[in-house]
Amino acid sequence: MNDIDDLKATVDEWNNGLDSGDIERMIATCDPKTVTCNNGIPTKVGTHAIRDKYNPLIAAYNIKSGWEYEHIQIHGDMAIITGFFTGEMTDKNTGDVRRGEGRLVIVYRRVEDGTWKMCLDMDNNAS
C-alpha cells in the first residue's frame, strides 16, 4: 500500500467503527491529543472529547456514515484530507431518522510505527 491508500484505510476504519458502534475502533485511529473543532460545539482536545461526543450518539442511534474525498495532500509525516460527509442516524427506540451532511477537514500525522493518526477533525454542517 502507499500513503494515500493507508490514509483512506484509516478514514474507513473510523467510519466502520462509527457505523458498527465501536468507539474503541474509532479512538484507535486518533492521536491522544486530537483537536476537534466540530460545528456548533467548542473546540476540544483529547480522545475523551471524541468519546464525550460519540458515546451518547452510539448508545441512542444506529449510524450510517458516508464520505466523499475532495482532496488529499501529504507533507512528509503530515496529511490533510478534505471531503464531504453524510450521516444517517436511526433512533434505536423510535425508528425516527435524522440526516446530516457537510464538509470536513481532517489532519493526520504518521506516528513512530508508520501508521496514520488523526490529530485534527474540523467540520461544518451544510445549511
One-character DSSP codes across 55-83? HHHHHHEEEEEEEEEEEEEEETTEEEEEE
Q: Write the DSSP symbol of residue 111.
A: -
Q: Residue 1: what pLDDT?
A: 75
Can you tell me the distance from the alpha carbon of 63 to that of 59, in angstroms, rounded to the nearest whole number? Answer: 10
Name the strand (E) or helix (H) holding 20: helix 3-20
β-sheet bridge partners, residue 116: 110
Q: Residue 127: what pLDDT?
A: 61
Q: Residue 40: what pLDDT?
A: 85
Name the strand (E) or helix (H) holding 11: helix 3-20
> Taking the domains of the chain in order of start, what are their residue ranges?
3-125
User: What string of pLDDT tens digits covers the 127 residues of the chain?
Assistant: 799 999 999 999 999 999 999 999 999 999 999 999 988 889 999 999 999 999 999 999 999 999 999 999 999 999 999 999 999 999 999 999 999 999 999 999 999 999 999 999 999 887 6
Q: Decide: helix, strand or coil at residue 34.
A: strand
The architecture in CATH of the region 3-125 reads: Roll (3.10)
